[in-house]
A and B are shown apart, each in its own frame.
Chain A
Amino acid sequence: MIEGIFVEGLIYSIMALGVFMTFRILDFPDLTVDGSFPLGAAVMATSLVGGFPIWTGILLAMLAGAVAGTITAVIHNELKVPSLLAGILTMTMLYSINIRVLGNKANISLLKQSHMISALVDATESFMNAGIAQLFLFTLIAALAVILLNAFFHTDLGLTLGALGGNERMVVAQGSNPKILKIIGVGVSNSLVALSGAFAAQYQGFADASLGVGMVVSGLAMVMIGEFLIRSSKIHWLLIRVIAGAIVYKAIMFGGRYYGYRIHLTPNDLKLVTGLLIILSLIITKTDLLSRWKKRHQND
């Protein structure tokens, strides 16, 4: 079970990295995630069922996510609507599109398909436990994602994306087109989310149109838990703590699912738990600020 928590945490941490990018770096609260996560899952599943190689499915899923993010950014840029509304629009439209991608069905089973995880288990079962093999694979993938994103945020373009969230005027004054930057940022974010969806579909053995319900909120919970675990302003720590937060979040959810019956919790209550977790995080953050503020005034 313990490696199950880690594997799920690592898979969803890719999605949480996408949420972190929009919510924390770009200051562009993006709800497309609820649609682009199942989009990634659907594209991956349909591609596998259609007989395409695994890597094609992964690339197509990322591409589809990037397109979804681009649509949200363009709606926001050109129609001058708030990012929240733009995201909700894309998310809602994606619900129909995802069912289309799944072939007018609500879900596709991958149990009889060969996919990334079944291929990995087949290749390693002679010398390794399936759970450990998955743990290795997804640790590697999450590490790669952190390394690549860390490098990206050190490039001139990445730095400018960082500045965009803090001060859009400054970015304009330095001659960058904020519209293009938002398309890049939200596009990359949603391609990560869709990638996470593609992994999740293979891990669970099915893709479902309703896979994304509450996804932004759980991504945000992961990001916020990470912020409690590690305090830093260095970008590599900001990325690593998203991964850590995702794993802890999944551990809490596992706890809720396995031991929650003792306090009469059912799996259906987990979304409520997620929301309460976020509210709790917010309260702690606020009161933390309050205590610091008090201290400062006592010193005066």
Chain B
Amino acid sequence: MIKLSDVSLIFGEGTPDRVEALNNISFQLNHGDFVTVIGSNGAGKSSLFNAVSGLYPPTSGVISKNKVDITRWPEYKRAAFIGRVFQDPLMGTAGNMSVQDNLTIASYKGMKKLKISLNKQKKNEFRELLSQLEMGLEDRISDNVGQLSGGQRQALTMLMMVLSSPDLVLLDEHTAALDPRNAEKVLELTSRFYSNYKLTVMMVTHNMKMALDFGNRLIMMDRGEIILEAEGKEKSRLTVDELVKRFHDIRGMSLTNDETLLS
């Protein structure tokens, strides 16, 4: 469905600060895949997401969706079929507006129309949807989103994302900034939405165990390259120790990122 061919992303070309954020990445994503992406800081996980979502167009290479070349499409245009959830729970919602206003904006992608679509029936639909989150938000539909907790905002962001049934969902450490209880909750929502809405998901995580527990595919990145891919049965047999060992074998050095090991 989404295909990356030899995608490179280079910052500061021709300067001493040249950084190769992505180095000839080729990767194909099929419908229904749930890919977990791991790697240490600066490995290129977020750059990969930024290239796919259109925030930073790649320096070279081609990104295509169902054989349509979307490499130069701006971010807002790709957002029509890509949903992205960031680590910061404030990023996905407008805090100065009510829950129902946020949901109205999210109910269809693209240029918004000059019509009032928020009516009684819509509000009831929204209450129904919000009750899925099991956070009591269905009773706070006209409260400003700024009054919600981080966990509630992130759950709302997840709901807003699935409203427009995106073809691809990018989860960028979407639970990392939450407390353990809310993180658990948002992860549970992630699996539930994945199966209920038949999503295709890429999820960046710092937590190796999480990367192994979730999804049918796993990729490990380092210095802008995909250094390890595992799928299906091969992935389900992987363990954290095995991953660390494989990294060592591939890179000829040990995985020294504390954050990765400790989590």
Q: Interface of A with B (CB < 8 Å)?
A: 151-152, 154-157, 159-160, 162-163, 165-167, 169-178, 180, 233
Q: Given A155-B116, A172-B79, are A177 and B111 also a contact pair (CB < 8 Å)?
A: yes
Q: Are B91 and A170 in contact (CB under 8 A)?
A: yes
A-B contact count (CB 8 A): 93
Which residues of A lie under 8 Å from residue B117 when comparing CB positions?
156
Contact at B110–A176, with CB atoms within 8 Å? yes
A169 pairs with B104, CB closer than 8 A: no
B105: A residues at CB distance < 8 A: 156, 159-160, 163, 170-171, 174
Q: Is the CB of A157 within 8 A of B113?
A: yes
State A158–B113 Cα separation when bound (angstroms). Answer: 9
Q: Are A154 and B116 in contact (CB under 8 A)?
A: yes
- The answer to whether A176 and B112 touch (CB under 8 A), given A163-B97, A170-B91, is yes
Judge whether B97 and A157 touch: CB under 8 Å.
Answer: no
Q: How far is the CA of A157 from the CA of B118 in the complex (A)?
A: 12
List residues of B (42-100) whose CB comes within 8 Å of A's CBs: 74-77, 79-80, 83-84, 86, 90-97
A163 touching B102 in the complex, CB below 8 Å, given contacts A157-B112, A170-B91: yes
Give Cα distance in the complex from A167 to B101, angstroms. Answer: 13
Query: How far apart sit A169 and B55, CA to CA, in the bound complex (Å)?
Result: 10
| Complex interface: chain B residues within 8 A of A160 (CB) | 105, 112
A176–B101 Cα gap in the complex (Å)?
A: 15
Q: Is the CB of A172 within 8 A of B75?
A: yes
Is B127's beta carbon under 8 Å from chain A? no
Q: List chain B positions with a Cβ less than 8 A from chain A.
A: 74-77, 79-80, 83-84, 86, 90-97, 101-102, 104-106, 108-118, 144, 160, 164
- Pick 26 A–B contacts, CB within 8 A, sort by A: A152-B114, A154-B118, A155-B114, A155-B116, A156-B104, A156-B112, A157-B112, A157-B114, A159-B97, A162-B96, A163-B97, A163-B101, A167-B93, A169-B91, A170-B92, A170-B105, A172-B75, A172-B79, A174-B105, A174-B106, A174-B160, A174-B164, A175-B76, A177-B74, A177-B77, A233-B144
* Given A159-B101, A160-B105, A163-B101: A173 and B116 interface contact (C-beta under 8 Å): no
A198-B74 Cα distance, complex, nearest whole Å: 40
**CB-CB nearest 8 A-B residue pairs:** A175-B109, A163-B94, A166-B96, A156-B112, A175-B79, A166-B94, A157-B112, A160-B112
User: A148 → chain B, closest Cβ, in Å?
Assistant: 12
**A162 and B94 in contact, given A155-B116, A174-B106 (Cβ under 8 angstroms):** yes
CA gap between A152 and B112 in the complex, in Å: 12
CB nearest neighbor in A for B82: A173
Query: Given contacts A157-B112, A165-B96, A167-B90, could you give 16 more A-B pairs where the C-beta distance is less than 8 Å?
Result: A151-B116, A155-B114, A156-B105, A159-B104, A159-B112, A160-B112, A162-B94, A163-B96, A167-B96, A170-B93, A170-B94, A173-B92, A174-B79, A174-B106, A174-B160, A175-B109
Chain B residues near A166 (CB-CB < 8 A): 94-97
* Residue in A151, A154, A167, A176 whose CB lies within 8 Å of B111: A176
Docked-complex contact B110 and A175, CB < 8 angstroms: yes
- Say which residue of B80, B93, B101, B113 sits within 8 Å of A162 (CB atoms): B101
Q: How far, in angstroms, from A171 to B96 measured CA to CA in the complex?
A: 13
Tell me which residues across on chain B come within 8 A of A163, comparing CB atoms. Answer: 94, 96-97, 101-102, 105
B46 to chain A, nearest CB (A): 14
- Which residues does chain B contribute within 8 Å of A152, judged by CB atoms? 114
List chain B residues, Cβ under 8 A from A159. 97, 101, 104-105, 112, 118
Contacts of B101 in A (CB 8 A): 159, 162-163
Which residues in A have their C-beta under 8 angstroms from that of B102? 163, 170
Contact A173 to B79, CB < 8 A, known contacts A166-B94, A167-B94: yes
Residues of B within 8 A of A157 (CB): 111-114
Identify the closest chain A residue to B115 (Cβ).
Answer: A155
Closest to B113 in A: A156
In the bound complex, what is the Cα–Cα distance between A173 and B116 (angstroms)? 21
Other-chain contact of A173, B74, B83, B104, B115 (Cβ < 8 Å): B83
CB nearest to A154 among chain B residues: B116
A170 to B153, CA, bound (A): 12
A166-B95, A170-B94, A233-B144 known; A155 vs B113 contact (CB < 8 Å): yes
Cα distance A257–B92 when bound, in Å? Answer: 50
- Cα distance, A160 to B97, chains bound together (Å): 10
State A176–B104 Cα separation when bound (angstroms).
13
How far is it, in angstroms, between the C-alpha of A173 and the C-alpha of B111 when the chains are bound?
12
List A contacts of B118 (CB < 8 A): 154, 159
A245 to chain B, nearest CB (A): 20
